[in-house]
Amino acid sequence: MLTLTFVPTGSTPANGVLLCNTSRSLTEMNVKFNHKRITNVENLAIQVGNGQAAYARDFANWRNTLSLTVRRSQNFAGTAFADEEAAFAFTLQQPTSFPTAGILQIALVGTVTNTTLWLLNCVVETITLNDRLGVAPSFNYNFNGGIITNVSPF
């Protein structure tokens, strides 16, 4: 089971925006994760052999990107749109529904695993309509955040 809640800066999880609550497999949801360090490589003006030396500066901060596909009819049990027009109206309102910065709470419950992680200093980079099958719109969510921690920031 995967539950994603976006908690705006200065808020609490109780006031967060529920993005996903599903028992679908992570593979089926096309989950992708990228962990990278912020660095800068500069060419120095000193000669080393036949060329200049490169210097890699590590800024000691981390960025993590997380993306996944959420189908509203399958990822929210008991929540259904009355008709295609209601689903499309919901689709058109997506980008205005999310604050620009906060914390992404990631709750994972498996047959053995039961853990909650937090992606700190997170922004919702994009929300894209993947497809719209009648009353079942599918969205691609892309998040960009800082470190991931298992220690609650709340």
Task: Output the pLDDT for position 97.
Answer: 66
pLDDT along the chain (154 residues), means of 10: 90 87 80 75 59 61 85 66 86 74 93 94 88 84 91 94
Task: Output the pLDDT for position 45.
Answer: 57
pTM above 0.85, yes or no: no
Task: Output the pLDDT for position 108.
Answer: 93
Query: 60 in the Ramachandran plot: left (φ > 0), alpha (ψ -120 to 50) or beta?
Result: left
Task: Output the pLDDT for position 61.
Answer: 66
The Cα 81–Cα 86 span in angstroms is 6
Contact 108, 117 (CB under 8 A): yes
Identity of residue 69: T
Identity of residue 4: L
The Cα 11–Cα 73 span in angstroms is 28
Task: Output the pLDDT for position 78.
Answer: 59
Task: Output the pLDDT for position 150.
Answer: 95
Helix, strand counts (H, E) of the chain: 2, 8
Q: What is the DSSP string of 21-80?
A: EE-S-TTTTT-EEEEEEEEEEEEEEEEETTEEEEEEEEEEEEEEEEEEEEEHHHHBTT--
Task: Output the pLDDT for position 114.
Answer: 95
